[in-house]
Amino acid sequence: MNRLEGRVALITGASRGIGHGIATCFAAEGADIALNYRSHTAEAEELAQAIEDLGRRALVLQADVSDRDAVAQMVQKTVTEWGHLDIAVANAALSIREPVVEAAWENIQRVIAVSQFGVFHTCQLAARQMLRQGNGGKIIIISSILEEVPAPGSGAYNMSKAAINHLGRTMAAELAPHHINVNMINPGWIDTPGERRFASERELKAAGRRIPWGRLGTPKDIGSAALFLASQEADYVTGATLRVDGGMLLGLSLPDRPENPV
């Protein structure tokens, strides 16, 4: 349908997982993609090639989003190369799982630096560019249902997700007169390389059966939701949080899903 034809999108943390899914969905709908990554060079280059195979342009940008100057350079390079920035997806995040009372302070600082301040840098600097252009724009923050559910062992991550959702609502209110949409996505349990650091294949499959939809989410599920928010179909949607979790939060108060439902 080419819903994003002629648009330029910057996606942080795009080399794998949810960011990869979003980049693929956007490129399939006509967008040129500036791909940010920090440490997975080969995967970023493979994704860039896949985007170019779809007939779109790809720009690979290595940067740590906790470094404000690096984010500023990323935005500037995108605009220098392609003339404008229409969509920004603040996706990059970091989770170090420790109980709050045992968490190392340096780990807390690192999680907040990436998952909270990195989102702030991306959103603020992208918004400044969109304001200079004067043609509106779309900002999408990839948060988590852990903004709503205080999962044990993820104190700093949970805190950062609550913060960036409120940041998004604040920016939506401030930027609405300029027709810059700011929205959040709260993914549920998504099958990503990052998640597989913490759970085995068997554990992930068992977890999927406990979700009302019967499976874990995929990066494409989140990509499809982000595509809607980036499109003109969501022109009147701003300050919203779209939960994409297969009913996971509902399942927290429902009985176990039967193996063979009637």
Where along the chain do its domains lie?
8-248
Residue 262: predicted pLDDT: 44
Rounded to an integer, what distance in angstroms lies between the CA atom of residue 25 and that of residue 4? 10
Give 100-159 pLDDT, tens digit per residue.
Answer: 999 999 999 999 999 999 999 999 999 999 999 999 999 999 999 999 998 999 999 999
Residue 174: predicted pLDDT: 98
Q: What is the H or E stretch that residue 138 is in?
A: strand 137-142
Higher pLDDT, 252 or 135: 135
| Contact present, 173 and 239 (Cβ < 8 Å) | yes
What does the DSSP assignment read for 84-109? ---EEEE-------B-GGG--HHHHH
pLDDT at residue 252 above 80? Answer: no
Record: fold of 8-248? Rossmann fold (3.40.50)
* Structure tokens that stand for 1 in this block: 């349908």
Residue 257: predicted pLDDT: 54
57's CB contacts (< 8 A; 6+ apart) are 32, 33, 51, 82
Residue 206: predicted pLDDT: 85
Place of tokens 């810059």: 180
Residue 248: predicted pLDDT: 92
Annotated catalytic residues are 157
Rounded to an integer, what distance in angstroms lies between the CA atom of residue 138 and that of residue 7? 10
**pTM: predicted TM-score of the whole model, two decimal places:** 0.94
Give 13-72 pLDDT, tens digit per residue.
Answer: 999 999 999 999 999 999 999 999 999 999 999 999 999 999 999 999 999 999 999 999
